[in-house]
Each structure stands twice: as structure tokens, then as C-alpha cells.
Amino acid sequence: MSTAYVVVALATAEVSMSWLIFPAGFKSAGAIGLALGLLGVPLVGTAAAIGLILFFVCAAYTRIRVSDYSSTFYLGPASSSPPPSPRWRSAWPRTTERVCGRSHCRQRRHSPGVVPLLGGMTNRPAMHVLRTPDDRFDDLPGYPFDPHYAEIDAGDGHGTTLRAHYVDESTGQPSGETVLLLHGEPTWSYLWRNVIPPLVAAGHRCVAPDLVGFGRSDKPADRFDYTYQSHLDWLRRLVFDVLDLDDITLVCHDWGGLLGLRLLAEHPGRFRRVVATNTMLPAGDQDMGPFFLFWLQSSQRSNPFSVGEVVTRNHRSGKEIDPRVLAAYDAPFPGEPYLQGARQFPLLVPISPQDEAAGPNRDAWAVLERLEIPFLCAYGELDPVSRVHGEEMAERIPGAKGQPHVTIPGAGHFVQEDQPGPLTQAIADFIEGRP
């Protein structure tokens, strides 16, 4: 009797450890529980039943991501309890109905009458999607661009679509160059408002998307819907599947680089040249430094979370930013539910070799270290995090050798806000000098 109880306890402990730390071990843990249960005489029937249950439950949840738990276990907004872990969500399939109102879209979920034990199970419900009201973008200073939208697959397994916004500006005398401007955390395409007009005046087409969760793009309300891979998939669907951009000059900032450089490595034939500004491609084997750790904590504990305040804290030009500009940075985020993408981004940066994006980023570096595409680094002199990574890129990427890399004086992390003129000139000169 006691032996069987010990065996069941050990199997349960094994499953619990795998559940919390090693999701890839779910099936093996369940199998161990089954095997040990079969040996658990005299309670063979009970132990085996428990083992079988553990096996099927764990197998159903094998695909849960490690990053889904890191934020719950280690960090969370000080003003509220952490979001519920996705392991407690219903795993059963549901039919959905998309309902869009003036300020948001949501999915009505209807559970079927019969729940299958095996097959067709998913570890998450349909995505709940928010949409910032259009009137919050009225009369933003220095942002006269017409909105453009595309519907892309959310990838939640329920047929949910996301409306992605992008700026698309060009002139009547095109140069034939397409400049893809990717913003980062926690800004949106408003960051590029002073960079776009001079490039368009030079004849270049400028495309500046709002990443999902930012700007005028739709915003999943559950932060666990935001993963490194989902951001890549959403951006790929917009830029390649919908817009079919080619011969691209990539200009990437902050998380725009963590995503854009991955796309570059996976689709090098789509790109003509690259300008990296205050960005990096971490693979979990680098020292991120104390400033990043401060940002990691601040991004989770700040209440309220203000994008304008983040821009202000990192402002280095010595000139005061117009309060209307700071309010414009906050325009897409009327409340905490709209901020889940911004809250989650810092937690997705690979800071250890075990992070889910660490391996794919190492694979991307293996490509970048052979890439001959012209590659320019234009970094802010006073940025506390990214400049050292710019030096690393200049050394490791063949296409960066011998390029006129720029360190922009009087610029911190948000170069586009501190010194938009020198950055724009560096981009324009690089396009003209590297046909």
C-alpha cells in the first residue's frame, strides 16, 4: 500500500516540475507516471488510471511556451496580481464569432456540446482583440499621414484576424527605393514622423507599420498572445504576404531590429540594404547590463505605464519635448488593457540560452555573419544599451565592413526624437551611396 502511494507521489512530483520548468518534458513525465503506476502494486488500477490521466493532460499541453511563465513567476505590475497562467485556460475547441464595436473587437466563444478527449485540442481560447478609437489619432502634431490597413491572420487557431496599420508615403517622382521603417518598444509609427517627409522628398517610398499591439494596429488584450514568434509572423504577413515588399532598405530601431534582423536572416533576398539604429539581436548569451534590468523591472511595475514618460526619461537633446508630442505617443493606449503588448515586449528579449527565441536568434546570427548586404550602424551617442551592440554588428556582419557608421551626438535611445535630422541624412546618404 505505502509503496504505491510513494510511486504515485513521485510521478506527480515529476509532472509538477516539468509543468513549471520544462514544458517539453510533459509527455515524458506523463509516461513516467503511467509506467510507475503500472508497477505500483497493490494499487495497480488506481495508479495506472492516474498515470494515464497525467499522460493525456500533459500531452495536450506540450506546446505551452516557457516565456508564458517567466513573466508570471518573476515579474508583474506592482499594482495588480499577475495575469492568470495559460495552463488554467480551457483546452477545448470552441466556435467563435467576431464582434466589432466602435472601440474594440472581441471574439464570442461558444463551447461545443461534445468535448473530444484526443485530437483537435488547443491550449488557448480565441484571441480577444482591442482597437483604439480613431478619434484618439485626430490632429496629432507632425503626423499628417493617411492611415492604411491590412487584415492579417492572428494565428490563434480560431480564424481571428487582426487589423494592422501602416504608413505608406511616396512621391510622384519615385526613386525606385522602398524604405521599411520599423519602430520598437514602446513607441509606434509616430516615432518616424520627422524622418519620413525628407526621404519621401528624395523620391523614396516609406512604409512604417505599427506593430500589432501598438499605434493604430489592433491590440490583443491577453499579454500571453504576444510572443517573439507571433510578432515575427504578424510582421511577415503584413510586409511580405500583403504588401509584397522587395528590394527593401530596412531601417530598424529597438524591437524593430529584433524582428527586422530576423526577417533579414530568414528572407535575405527581399532586402537591398540595412540601417540599424539603437537595436540588437540578442541570443541569450550576452550581458544586457544594469540599464536593461532596470527597464525590465520598470516596464512591469510602472502604474500607470506612459509611453510619453518613457520617451521623456530617455530624451537627451537638451530641448524640451512639446507636451502635445508626448500625448501623441500615448494616444494609442487609452487604458491598461491596451498596453499588454508594451508590457510584454521586454519579457520577450532573450536573456538566457534557454529562452525560446535564443536558438532561432543564434541561427539568424549564423546567416548574418555571412551576409554581404550593405549594413550601416547609426547609433545615439548617449544610448545606454544599444551602442555596444552596434559595435558588435559592425564587427560580425560582413556587409558592415568599411561602411560609414555613424554615432549621432546629442542623441539617446530615441534618436528619431532627439536628432531626427542627422539620422535622416545618414539614411539618405547610405541609400544614395550604396545602390
Contact 292, 385 (CB under 8 A): yes
What three-state secondary structure class fits 187?
coil
Query: What are the DSSP calls for 100-160, one per residue?
Result: E-SSBEEEEEE--SS--SSSS--SS-PPPEE---GGGGTT-TT--PPPEEEEEE--SSS--
pLDDT, tens digit (0-9, with 9 covering 90-100), for 211-224:
999 999 999 999 99
Q: Spell out a b/e string for 42-62, using b for 16 or more CB atoms within 10 Å of the CB, else e.
A: ebeeebbebbeebbbebbbbe
Q: Quick one: DSSP state of residue 19?
A: H
* Residue 282 grid cell: 540578442
Question: How many distinct helices (H) and strands (E) make up the chain?
Answer: 15, 12
Q: What is the DSSP string of 286-345?
A: S--HHHHHHHHHHHHH-SS--HHHHHHHT--SSSPPPHHHHHHHHTT-SSGGGGHHHHHH
pLDDT over 90, % of the chain: 63
CA dist., res. 33 & res. 262, Å (int): 40
Copy the grid coordinates of residue 181: 521603417
Hey, what's the cell of 325?
Answer: 508630442
Tell me the sheet residues that pair with 317.
none
In angstroms, the CA 222 to CA 338 distance is: 9
Q: What tens digit of pLDDT does each residue of 380-400 get?
A: 999 987 667 788 899 999 999
Tell me what pLDDT residue 86 has.
36
The predicted pLDDT at position 362 comes to 97
**How does DSSP classify residue 399?**
G
- Match 555613424 to its residue by C-alpha cell: 406
User: What are the start-end ranges of the E strands in 25-78?
Assistant: none
Strands 205-209 and 148-153: unpaired
Using the 8-state DSSP alphabet, how is residue 82 labeled? P
Which amino acid is located at 231 in the chain?
A: H
DSSP state for residue 223 in the 8-state scheme: G
CA distance 184 to 279: 9
Coil, helix or strand for 37?
Answer: helix
Q: Is the pLDDT of residue 360 over 50?
A: yes
Supply the pLDDT for residue 318.
76
More confident residue, 182 or 293: 182
Contact 228, 67 (CB under 8 A): yes
377: nearest Cα among 395, 350, 351, 358: 395
CA 184 from centre of chain = 9
Alpha carbons 90 and 110: distance in angstroms, whole number? 12
Q: Which residue has the higher pLDDT, 315 or 8?
A: 315
383: helix, strand or coil: coil
User: CATH classification of 133-433, choosing from 3.40.50.1820, 3.30.1110.20, 3.40.50.720, 3.40.710.10?
Assistant: 3.40.50.1820
Q: What is the mean pLDDT of residues 300-314?
A: 94
Residue-level pLDDT at 429:
97
What pLDDT, on a 0 to 100 scale, did the predictor assign at position 37? 53
Considering the chain, what is the average pLDDT of its residues?
Answer: 80
AA letter at 199? L
**Of 169, 160, 337, nearest in space to 233 by CA:** 160
Please list the active-site residues: 254, 383, 413
Distance CA 347, CA 19 (A): 20
Distance separating alpha carbons of residues 369 and 265, to the nearest angstrom:
10
Query: Could you tell me the pLDDT band of residue 31, with boundaries at 50, 70 and 90?
Result: low
Nearest to 248 by CA among 209, 201, 282, 194: 209
Which of 41-55, 103-117, 142-156 has the lowest average pLDDT?
103-117
Domains of the chain, by residue range, sit at 2-60, 133-433
Which amino acid does the sequence have at 424? T
